[in-house]
Amino acid sequence: MRPVLVFDGDCSFCRIWIGYWKKLTGDKVEYVPYQTDAGRFPDTPVSEFQKAVQLFEGGARYSGAEVVFHLLAFRPGNAWALWLYQIVPGVSAITEALYRFIAAHRNAGYRVTRALWGSQVEPPQYTIASSLFARAIALIYLFAFVSFGRQVRGLIGAQGIQPVTEFFTEVMRQIGS
């Protein structure tokens, strides 16, 4: 059974960021609004769903900023973030305080998100950077092979620094065929 994240479906800020997390975690996590699915979790009061996102995973329930760190841990190479939250003193207190501040100012958070990222928050793709990097490598290889092509006759040709025929003749004389 996959983990279930329950969020406030009426909150624009929540919906825009849930879209982001869905793209990051894929089908590893189920995302449901509490307005339709709170009944699946009768032990959790509706006031908890209204206050912060809830993640139900393997019989455990996580809330607030801790949910974000658990979601990060679903991505390969990001387990260190959850470790940081759980082990390093002060990290959980600071991130929970930030989470509570943002949760208390969701409308402002939504406006800031829209101003910075637009109507959808997308995970980074690095398409431009990777395209430029690939083209730069191709250009470097082009220069290297053109340079080698211009030097090859002078290095290993019949009239080169070390003529190949004389080299192989000497090798055959010393070691045999």
Dump pLDDT digits (tens) for 154-167. Answer: 777 667 776 777 77
pLDDT of 115 > 80? The answer is: yes
Q: What CA–CA distance (Å, rounded) separates 2 from 47?
A: 24
Mean predicted lDDT score pLDDT of the chain? 92
- What residues contact residue 158 under an 8 Å CB cut-off, 6+ apart? 164, 165
Say what the pLDDT of residue 157 is.
Answer: 65
Does residue 145 carry a pLDDT above 80? yes
The answer on pLDDT for 142 being more than 70 is yes
**Are the C-beta atoms of residues 26 and 20 closer than 8 Å to each other?**
no
Say which amino acid occupies 26: G
* Rounded Cα–Cα distance for residues 68 and 93 (Å): 14
Count of all residues that appear for the chain in the document: 177
Handedness of CA 87, 91, 93, 95 (dihedral sign): negative
Contacts of 131 (CB under 8 A, 6+ apart): none
pLDDT tens for residues 55-80?
999 999 999 999 999 999 998 889 99
**Considering just the CA atoms, what is the radius of gyration of the chain in Å?**
30
